Structure 1
Amino acid sequence: MNTRTKLATVLASLLALAASGAPSVQAKTAIATPSAALHVQQHGDSGRPVILVPGLGGGAWVWAGLLPHLQADHRVYVVTLPGFDGTVAPAGGNFTQQAEDALVDLIRTRHLAKPVLVGHSLGGTLSLKLASDHPELVGGVVAVDGLPVFPGTENMTAAQRPAMAAAMQARMQGLTPAQFEAQQVGFMQAMGVIDPKQAERYGKRNAASDPKAVAQYMAEDLTLDFRDALAHASVPLLEISPYNAPDYASGAMAMSEQQKADYYRSLLAKAPQLKVVSIAPARHFVMFDQPEKLEAALDDFMARLPPPTTER
């Protein structure tokens, strides 16, 4: 079994269940979408704008630990996608496109000059896609364990993806609330965070999101593959690859930290300005396991960016 195949098993589970937990924070404003609202908080009123986008099922609370560090020197906008953390879910289909459109509206209506998008998991995927579709709007992207294609599906054809996504969505939508909560707790214990004392609390918080919305976003994520479009993302990109050695020590999943980082690099190979940084020991929620290392990686990335021009 090669490195990519081994990674597919763990990362498919990781990204399928990704969500997080921390104290809830109420949104201050909302950006309208066709059927719901992108909830937005603003912190700070000077410095380069930064947009923080949580992952699948996450809310603004995902970034509670990182926020004080960033807002000291940046104007920070923290968003919650519709359907997550108790917010109203979108209607219709294509939730991910609605979310991307809402992020574009946020940038344009607030006249943000080359903001840096920092996204976790699904939020990282959305940030990478926005940079591919609208490189003129952003100054850079930091994807924390978010990728342009669902790991392990990179060799599937476009025709194969819908059936796989529909089957996954049907399984998730069939869960009772108790089963959904148990699923989230199980993920957090196995792959979300290292500290077992926090896993149950985080997992229960994950279950505050709408299960059907989580399933819909996840199904759409499974159908995405915009690796080629990354060639248009003509801005600096930073991918954070978490690694926790015990999780990869033996068996089918055995691999080195370098092998995992190289796999991520291969999925982002078309990006013109790419840097991959491994952070260890950390699981999917790097901001919880290694906040100081993540802060250092962000600081280094943003210090190297060209200064933004005038507000748009």
Structure 2
Amino acid sequence: MKTIFKQLRFYFGTLIFLISTGLSPSVFGQAYSFAVDKIGSGKPVIFIPGLITSGEVWQPIAQEIANNYECHVLTLPGYAGQAPLSEGPYLERFRQEILQYLEQNQLEEVQFVGHSIGGFLSLMIALEDHSAIEQLVIVDALPFFAQTFNQDPQLGFDEVAARQYMDSFSKFDEVQVRQYRKQVAQSMTKQEKYWDKMVDWAMLSDAQTEAFSTYEMLGNDLRERLSEIKVPITVFAAFDENPDFPTFTKEAVEEMYTSQYMHAPNLELIIAEGSRHFIMLDQEEWFLEQLSSVLK
């Protein structure tokens, strides 16, 4: 009888979640607003891409480890052609839905690998202290990014700034926007073969989701709350020497990340030299070797 009541509580809890988030249940399970490409077998690893990036960015790495791990490669709603949520708050709804995904699929000993805003989202998820989460791998993401360029950043979601960011694109035609996106892609990775693909992902992304999720992250300071995360955190920080910025040194990067993650009780910091923001693209073989060691 107790088992039946547990099943009923889980069933109705799932329905309540679906109603509150505007999602629709499917016949054989739950429909999620994010896309999932699942490959391999073994302990689960959930890959979360960064802002307006497709889960495709993680596929080369996932394919390499699929013999040992069950890889769940996500594309978040509103990113890279995935249908957006009807309303925010976006990061919080992403977090809730991914936690529901763990429950619905009865995943255990889960390891999260998140890049950029996907890394920030992984930290948010781990604050739940869910028993299924085993460790986090954070790729070039900080718990309070706004503090790196503003010594007195505004806390909380700045909707005015988010809408101004959205409106800024309306001043340009598609060719000009693509040119801007291409410049951004070139600053993010040295791998030329990915530039056009990253532009396509950006052009297919929902403008409001991009703007709102960005400013939700910028207004959210997780630094002190990292003390609540009990699982190990491995952080990969990108460093690429640039003669135009002589003060941007490996030591400066290490100091910045150490300071931001100082409240994390179980942290390993790895500096990825010769890498721009997309470490897994710029140093694919090295990153794969490092990640394989961490996941073990």
Amino acid at match of 2:274: P
TM (norm. structure 1) is 0.79
Q: Which residue matches 1:172?
A: 166
Counterpart contact for 2:53–2:198, Cα < 8 Å: no
1:131-280 → structure 2 map (5 Å cutoff): 131-151=126-146, 152=148, 155-156=151-152, 158-159=154-155, 162-163=157-158, 166-176=160-170, 178=174, 179-189=176-186, 191-196=187-192, 198-246=194-242, 249-251=243-245, 254-280=247-273
Amino acid at match of 1:258: E
| Number of the residue aligned with 2:30 | none
Distance 1:135 1:267, change over 3 A: farther
Following superposition, the deviation at residue 154 of structure 1 comes to 7.0
The CA RMSD measured in Å over matched residues stands at: 2.2
Counterparts in 2 of 1:215 and 1:35: CA distance versus 1, 3 Å: farther
* Cα distance between partner residues in 2 of 1:72 and 1:130: 26
Q: Which runs of 5+ in 2 are unaligned?
A: 1-16, 24-32
Q: Could you tell me which amino acid in structure 1 is paired with residue 264 of structure 2? A: A
Residue deviations 1:174-198, cap 9 Å, x none? 4136244333212112x21113464
Alignment partner for residue 123 of structure 1, among 118, 124, 129?
A: 118
**Is 1:101 aligned to residue 90 of structure 2?**
no
Give the CA deviation at 1:150.
Answer: 1.4
**Residues in 1 aligned to 2:154 and 2:180: alpha-carbon distance in whole angstroms:** 28
CA contact (8 A) 1:82 1:90 kept: yes
The aligned residue for residue 285 of structure 1 is: 278
1:58 Cα deviation after fit: 1.1
TM, length-normalised to structure 2:
0.83
Distance verdict in 2 for CA 1:201–1:158, change over 3 Å: closer
Query: Which position in structure 2 is the counterpart of 1:295?
Result: 288
- Shift in Å, 1:282: 0.9
In the alignment, which residue of structure 2 is the partner of 1:66? 61
Instruction: Could you list the structure 1 runs, at least 4 aligned residues long, displaced by more than 4 angstroms after superposition.
Output: none
Q: Kindly provide the CA deviation profile for residues 214-240 of structure 1, in whole angstroms up to 9, marking residues without a partner as x.
A: 111111111111111110100100111
Q: In the alignment, what sits opposite 1:47?
A: 42
The answer for the alignment partner of 2:4 in structure 1 is none
CA distance in 2 between partners of 1:259 and 1:153 (Å): 14
CA deviations 1:251-271 (Å, max 9, x no partner) are 4x5222122022112111111
In 2, the alpha carbon distance for the partners of 1:133 and 1:124 equals 15
Counterparts of residues 16-27 of structure 1 (less than 5 Å): none
Question: Could you say if the C-alpha distance between residues 132 and 153 of structure 1 is closer, same or farther in structure 2, counting changes exceeding 3 Å?
Answer: farther
Indicate if the aligned counterparts of 1:192 and 1:284 stay in contact, CA closer than 8 A.
yes
Confirm or deny that 1:78 pairs with 2:73. yes
| SS of equivalent residue, structure 1 residue 275 | strand
Q: Quote the offset at 1:244 in angstroms.
A: 1.1
- If asked which structure has higher relative contact order (CA below 8 Å, sep 6+), I would say 1
